[in-house]
Each structure stands twice: as C-alpha cells, then as structure tokens.
Amino acid sequence: MQLTLWTYEGPTHVGAMRVATAMEGLHYVLHAPQGDTYADLLFTMIERRNKRPPVTYTTFQARDLGGDTAELFKIAARDAYERFRPQAMIVGSSCTAELIQDDPGGLAKTLGLPVPVVPLDLPAYQRKENWAAAETFYQLVRAFAGPHAPPPGTKRPERAPGVRASCNLLGATALGFRHRDDVQEITHLLGRLGVDVNVAAPLGAKPSDLARLGAADFNVVLYPETAGMAATWLARIFGQPSVKAVPIGIGGTCDFVTEVAALAGVDPAPILAEVPSRLPWYSRSVDSTYLTGKRVFIFADALHAIAAARVASEELGFQVVGLGTYSREFARDVREAAKRYGVEPLITDDYLEVEETIAAAHPELVLGTQMERHIAKKLGVPCAVISAPVHVQDFPARYAPQMGFEGANVLFDTWVHPLMMGLEEHLLTMFREDFEFHDAAAPSHLGGGVERREEQVAPVPPVPAPAADTPAIVAAGGPTTWAPEAEKELGKIPFFVRGKARRNTERYAHDRGLAVITVETLYEAKAHFAR
C-alpha cells in the first residue's frame, strides 16, 4: 500500500486508451465499474478532442457482482461492434474487473465477432500507464504485422536503386506531450533528408496500417516509453533497425540526422551545414550571457529528462543541479545521464520526495511536468513544462514541437522566457533597496501573477540567534549563527541567489569553525567561492 497524493502516471487501462484513442478504426471494450468513464474527460477536456474516445465501458455495479458480469461484458462487446463497426477491437479489464477475473479475451472469442479482437493483459496492481501503452501497442503490432512476417532467418532484401528509403515513426499517442507537433516536425525533417514515412503509429494509424509496418527500411522510435517494446519486436521479426538518437535540441537533432542518413543511405551534409534553427545564435548572442550557470532542476519522463539535461547544459549553458524521472522502466538511462552532470539521480514517483529534493537544490529554473510546475509555483521559482503528465495548457493552439530544429526554437523560448531578463537582474542587484524592487515583485514581463513564497529570512534579531532554516549546520564548537548586520546584508542579495549565498556562507563558516557569521564572513565566503 502506497500513500499517494498525486500520481505521475494513471492506471494501466488509461495507457491502453491513449493508444486506442490515437488510432482510427479501433474500438476498446473495457470491463469496468461505473465511474471509470472519468477517463474520457482526459481526452475530451485536456486534449480538447472533438470525439469521445473509442471506448465502451461495461459499467457493472455491486448488484451485478453476484450475478453475471461476464454476460454484461458479452452484451457490451457485441453492441459495441454493431454500433461502431471498427476494423478491430481490443478488450481488457480495469483494476476492479481484474479482481473479478471474467477473462474478457476468452469471452470475446466466444462471440465470434467478424473482426480481429486483441486481448490485453495489463496488470493494474503492478504496472502503470506508460508500460501499458507500450504493451498495448506491442500487442497490436504483433497482431497485425505478425501475419506478414517473413520466415525466420530471411534476409531483408536490398532496396532497389532509385527507390527512396522509408521508415516508420513510432510511439506518438493521444494525450502525449506535443506528440502531434513532433510527428509533423520529424516527418518534415525526414522529408528534407529524402526519407519517406511508411506508417506513423499509433497516432493517426488504422489497424490495417499496422499490417504494413514491415515494408519500411527502419524504425524511428520517437518515444521509447510507448514504442520501445514494439520496435524491439520489429527488429527481431522484420530485421528493421531502430534509430536511437532522440531529436531534441540541436545536438540531438544533428545526431538523429546523421543516424537516419546512415541507415537511409542519404547525404546529411546539407542539413548539418545549415542547422535551420535560431537556437545556436540566440544562445551565443550577448543577451544570453546571463543564462550562464543558471541552476536548473529537471524531472520528467526519462526521454524528456535526459534530452533536457543535454540541451540545458550544452546549448543554453545552464548548470544541471538535479535530474530525475518517474519512469522506473528507464531508470538506468537516467542514472547514466545523471553521472555525466555530477548529480544524484532522483528515481521516484513520490510527489512529496520530488518537492523536497527540488526545494533543497535551490534551483533558479525547474524543467518538469505539470506537477513540478505547481511545486515551482509554491517555491516561487520559474518553471517550464517539458513532459507529461499534461494539462490543457500543454496542447497549445500554435505549432509547438519539442523535437527537430523548430523544436529547438520552442525550447529556447519556453525555457528562457520564465527567467528574469539579464538587465533586469542587474538593476535588481544594484538597487536592492529601491522600494519597488522588493522581494515579492515578480519579473515585470510576467505581470503581477505569482506571489513568491520566499525562503524564510528571519527578521533581524536583537542578539545573534541561529538562523531558523539551517538547523543542520553545526560548527565544531556549537551552532553557526548570523550576526544581525550580516543577516541584513544577506537580505540585500537578490532572492533568486540568496539561498545559494546563505548556504555557501554557512558552509564556509562551518568549515572554519566560525560560530558567528559577520558581514566580513559573508564577503570572505563570496570571494572564496568566486575562485
């Protein structure tokens, strides 16, 4: 039993719904109690879909439990076929139906429906949404591409000369973070390279399209969280290699172009020479100097977290002070990435633990999910959302991919705009005691929105007393305390670096066994850490 306030991932059947809703011509019959239909609103409200998800819920109630819930399932499945006439169906249980063990797959078989029915086994008490989306997609790919598999051991025929290379674009689902725009951007990029997209799936694909997957020369796995399993199977059965590079940021996109070009036998040089994005120049322009070394904390699904760390570090000159993910399936990748930035990886789906870790890291920018946006709001730290779980704001009206060269432009804008602008930051430092520059004043370009909850600065006490928020720092001879003048001087330092200044000064004092921090100590520490 796990105490949970907020969850990063939904239950397994929501993962299956994300695949079913992304596709066309597929219907999902879900054995579920009344109330589970709430999941529809994720799609119709958050993503503003103009159709109901293609899901029929059997809606059993307590009084059905003693009776025949299996019959209820059969009626629902038969009616759903008659009404919606899909090309294919998937059937399965939600968490409650799993407990009553009606076997939707077996029941559907007895109905003899005239379309393929793919049973799903998505253990609701062990697994979560993303794994289930991957499993559902894998089962569908197996079911529809499987019959077209060449005999084992068959060598993939060479592409005829003059025929353009083609690939499948795998992993985009409904409710995905910018999946809609990423598919468009990467399709365009592949087109410039001279590579066709054979099938993009699940988003926009029909079951009959999945049957054609084997025709592509290779696979582009846009989102390993949802397409990793299917791609591994396709590699084994059809001998299709997968592109490993993630096209997020300039570096990631260039690596992607190089890898695709090698697989497709095309020349990447023209695109790599051009790099059609403004990010490199914007980042080199003098205005961006103030971005240097900004402390950024990153927490997201594994794909976006790892990619964001690279972009933050190499392309914006930030300092990564925290990196983590809720995707336990990809924990190893995130641990490796964390090593590159010298930070402790945070692998958890406990929202409270994430909140504590962010607060302790004193970042100047948080890159996270909608959950971290709320944490950052509470801490008064700017934040940009880079990953699911999503919110209605993550489906912007404009074209806003995260991937490819246009995606890099989007990243630059959305990560830099929440920050205080360079000159504004300097003015705040110079005129610390200006009556309009109080700590609660938000950056002017952000309007009068967020009230910042400050790191607690204790009012200057008449006699030296321990600073309230640093009980852990104890000098050899007793606790380190702040002299009133030093505390006042600390207050003149802008709030967004004050936490760092406080911690550094206390560390400096602690290391030297100083009992009282004076103004002199403060500046000595500043000089020490500047070296």
Which residue of 96, 187, 414, 518 would you call a contact of another protein, by CB under 8 A?
Answer: 96
For another protein, which is the closer residue by CB, 33 or 443?
33
Which of 101, 106, 79, 110 is closest to 91 using CA atoms?
A: 106
Structural contact between residues 367 and 384, judged by C-beta atoms closer than 8 angstroms: yes
Q: Which stretch binds another protein (CB under 8 A): 125-133, 197-205, 249-257, 275-283?
A: 125-133
Structure-token pair, residue 394: 């993550």
Stretch that binds another protein, among 1-9, 167-175, 216-224, 277-285 (CB under 8 A): 1-9
Q: Which residues, numbered 358-397, are part of the site for another protein (CB under 8 A)?
A: 370-371, 374-375, 377-378, 389, 391
3-state secondary structure of 474: strand
- To another protein, the closest distance from the beta carbon of 462 in angstroms equals 31
Contact call for residues 505 and 522 (beta carbons, < 8 A): yes
Out of 112, 125, 151, 436, the only residue in the binding site for another protein (CB under 8 A) is 125
366 within 8 A of 377, measured Cβ to Cβ: no
Q: Does 102 engage in binding with another protein (CB under 8 A)?
A: no
Q: Which two tokens stand for residue 222?
A: 């846009």
Taking the complex as a whole, how short is the minimal distance between the CB of residue 163 and another protein, in angstroms?
41
At residue 528's C-alpha, the angle toward residues 526 and 530, to 5°, is 65
User: Nearer Cβ to another protein, position 58 or 521?
Assistant: 58
Q: Does 463 bind another protein (CB under 8 A)?
A: no
278 binds another protein (CB under 8 A): no
Specify the amino acid at residue 371.
M
| Complex with another protein: residue 454 or 520, whichever CB lies closer | 454
CB of 171 to another protein, least distance (A): 22
> Shortest distance, CB of residue 133 to another protein, whole angstroms?
14
Which 3 state secondary structure label does DSSP give 183? Answer: helix
Examine residue 453 and tell whether it contacts another protein (CB under 8 A): no
Structure tokens at 46: 């958050």
Distances (CA, A) of 444 to 167, 422, 448: 47, 12, 8
Binding residues with another protein: total (CB under 8 A):
58
Residue selected from 18, 31, 74, 128 as contacting another protein according to rule CB under 8 A:
128
Residue of 26, 28, 56, 362 that binds another protein (CB under 8 A): 56
Counting contacts by CB under 8 A, is residue 78 touching another protein?
no
Q: How far is the CB of 299 from another protein (least distance, A)?
A: 14
Among residues 25, 44, 111, 282, which is the contact residue for another protein, using CB under 8 A?
44
Residues in Cβ contact with 319 at an 8 Å cutoff, skipping those fewer than 6 apart: 293, 294, 295, 296, 313
CB nearer another protein, residue 123 or residue 150: 123
Question: How far, in Å, are 130, 173, 242, 389 from residue 224 at the CA level?
Answer: 10, 12, 11, 16
Sign of CA dihedral 431, 432, 438, 441: positive
Look up residue 280 and give its two tokens.
């490199």
Q: Which of 68, 79, 267, 287 is catalytic?
A: 287
Q: Does 480 bind another protein (CB under 8 A)?
A: no
232 is a contact residue toward another protein (CB under 8 A): no
Residue 40 touches another protein, criterion: CB under 8 A? yes
Sheet holding 165-172, edge to edge: 195-202, 165-172, 218-221, 242-243
Nearest-Å Rg of the Cα atoms of the chain is 27
Classify residue 90 by burial, with Cβ atoms within 10 Å: 0-12, 13-18, 19+: buried
Stretch that binds another protein, among 49-57, 184-192, 294-302, 433-441 (CB under 8 A): 49-57
Is there a catalytic annotation at residue 103? no
Which of 20, 36, 322, 428 forms a contact with another protein (CB under 8 A)? 36
- Comparing CB distances to another protein, the nearer of 217 and 394 is 394
The position carrying tokens 């936490």 is 499
Residue-by-residue DSSP string for 32-52:
-BTTGGGHHHIIIIIS--SS-
Determine if 83 is a binding residue for another protein (CB under 8 A).
yes
Amino acid in position 451: E
Looking at the annotation, which residues are catalytic?
Answer: 287
Give residues in contact with another protein (CB under 8 A). 1-7, 9-11, 13-14, 33-42, 44-45, 48-52, 56-62, 65, 76, 79, 83, 94-96, 99-100, 123-126, 128, 370-371, 374-375, 377-378, 389, 391
